[in-house]
Amino acid sequence: MKKYLIIGITILMMVTPLAAASPHITSAVKTSAKQMNVSPEDFTHTVMVEYGTMTTCPYCVTASGQLYSIYNSGDLDFYYVSLVWDKGNSNVRDRLTELGVSSVPDVYFDGGYRRLLGAQQDEQPYRNAITQCGERVVPNIGVDVNVQWKGSGTLKITVNVHNNEPTEYNGHLRVYIVEKESRWNDNGGNPYHFGVLDIPIDRSLSTTPQPQSQQQGQSSPLGGTTYTFIKTWLGALYGFGDITQNNILVIASVFDPDSGYAVQTAAAEPTSGGGSSVMPSSQMQQLLPSIKILCNQMLLKVLSNH
């Protein structure tokens, strides 16, 4: 009995209950302590990670650092977002409630296929959870994101979801607008990364199957149904008119409506001139100053025509 009491106290010390939330604390998913050597090329899809946190949570400092370290390593194919309970708007808090977050740090992988609650001793449990999600069998769904920077904190977001399956696919689309380096700091005084400003698109979708001719390897100009949604987001309406183009990332993820698990994720940075760039590699980062100058020139040209 004493042994279980000590274990219970240890778990409580590693999580921070949310204000006005249920005090019930769920257990963290158990993951293997050994390294899971799986190449990102073996992933069936890009994994989506949602991190529930609060600025007053001391244990979240460790979680934030571990997640950002994994992301920066480039070892695994995933995106993550920081859902900051005490700073996010109603859409952010609604998503935290929907996930079932009641204590932080609480990290959901692919919408809850794996979940880790509380501070972790090192980043390996997070790596294992991402890898386990990446190996899942998921529907063949394509996601494409295009973001245009309109100036004054305004974004035009276009998301295309393409069905490559032989059957109809019904899913749920969520789009997250994040700051790569957040305006909000964690309990250690460090800025969050990929802090969610808003979730402007949160809706169901339905696509028809891919034509039989394409399933058999024959050429066809039709393809399966592409679900397209366009949203113009005015940051100033939500108190974010001061966002900057080079600090914004838009992440779109399709979830299965029954299980709630993510099946595909994509992201893009805003560009001026109607295009959209994928996340830059180390080589692309070297070209960013030149690209920025070109984008500014294109923006001036566009503005002069209006």
Length of the chain: 306
pLDDT for residue 207: 87
Instruction: Please answer whether residues 262 and 173 qualify as being in contact, where contact means their C-beta atoms are separated by less than 8 angstroms.
Output: no
Instruction: Please answer whether residues 195 and 251 qualify as being in contact, where contact means their C-beta atoms are separated by less than 8 angstroms.
Output: no
Could you tell me where the beta strands, DSSP code E, fall in the chain? 16-17, 47-53, 78-84, 103-104, 106-109, 114-117, 141-151, 154-163, 169-185, 191-207, 226-234, 248-255, 262-270, 276-277
The 10s digit of each residue's pLDDT in 190-226 is 999 999 999 999 999 998 886 654 444 333 333 578 9
The 10s digit of each residue's pLDDT in 52-81 is 999 999 999 999 999 999 999 999 999 999
From the list 34, 25, 185, 55, the residue with the least C-alpha distance to 118 is 25
Q: How many whole angstroms separate alpha carbon 306 and alpha carbon 290?
A: 25
Q: Is the peptide bond before 191 cis (omega within 30 degrees of 0)?
A: no
Domains within the chain, CATH numbers bracketed: 2-134 (3.40.30.10), 141-170+203-304 (no CATH)
Interior/surface letters 20-55, b for 16+ CB within 10 angstroms, e for the rest: ebeeebbebbebeeeebebeeeebbbbbbbbbbbbe
What is the pLDDT confidence band of residue 38, given thresholds at 50, 70 and 90? Answer: low
Q: What are phi and psi of 234, to 5 degrees?
A: -100, 100
Instruction: Please answer whether residues 222 and 211 qualify as being in contact, where contact means their C-beta atoms are separated by less than 8 angstroms.
Output: yes
What share of residues in the chain are helix, strand, coil (percent, to 5)? 25, 35, 35
The 10s digit of each residue's pLDDT in 139-176 is 999 999 999 999 999 999 999 999 999 999 999 999 99
Q: How many whole angstroms separate alpha carbon 252 and alpha carbon 268?
A: 9
The 10s digit of each residue's pLDDT in 255-276 is 999 999 999 999 999 999 644 4
Q: How many whole angstroms separate alpha carbon 293 and alpha carbon 302?
A: 14
Distance of CA 185 to the CA centre of its chain: 19
Q: What is the DSSP string of 186-215?
A: -TTSPEEEEEEEEEEEEEEEEEPPPPHHHH
pTM: 0.78
Instruction: Please answer whether residues 194 and 82 qualify as being in contact, where contact means their C-beta atoms are separated by less than 8 angstroms.
Output: yes
Q: Checking DSSP bridges between strand 106-109 and strand 248-255, what pairing results, if any?
A: unpaired
More confident residue, 279 or 224: 224
Q: How many whole angstroms separate alpha carbon 141 and alpha carbon 68?
A: 27
